[in-house]
């Protein structure tokens, strides 16, 4: 399964990582120079969690940002009673 958020559609994206050398002009140097560019991937923080959707509990892949914001409803925690049936 792909690494995609079910709510926002966030997914893995491509980018570059730049290697730099030198001292910034603001710090008295002649400026930063790029010495290399390499490909990299930016991966969203996707979590597989149980969510209540239309009254039913389903598993979804959701970005952690949307879990923190409270954009999903989690199911109630089942509490087990010990010694009730003994």
Number of other residues whose CB lies within 10 A of the CB of residue 6: 19
Give the pair of three-digit tokens for residue 22. Answer: 């030198």
pLDDT in tens, 8-66: 999 999 999 999 999 999 999 999 999 999 999 999 999 999 999 999 999 999 999 99
Distance, CA of 82 to CA of 73 (rounded, Å): 28
Delimit the domains of the chain by residue range.
13-68
In Å, how far from its chain's centre is CA 39? 20
Buried-state track 11-49, b at ≥16 Cβ within 10 A, e below 16? eeeeeeeeeeeeeeeeeeeeeeeeeeeeeeeeebebeeb
pLDDT score, position 2? 85
Distance, CA of 63 to CA of 51 (rounded, Å): 13
């Amino acid at each position: 399964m792909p690494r995609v958020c079910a709510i926002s559609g966030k997914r893995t994206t491509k980018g570059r990582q730049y290697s730099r050398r030198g001292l910034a002009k603001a710090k008295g140097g002649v400026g930063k120079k790029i010495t290399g560019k390499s490909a990299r991937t930016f991966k969203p923080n996707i979590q597989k969690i149980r969510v209540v959707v239309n009254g039913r509990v389903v598993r979804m892949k959701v970005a952690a940002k949307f879990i923190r914001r409270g954009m999903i409803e989690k199911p109630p925690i089942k509490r087990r009673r010990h010694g009730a049936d003994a």
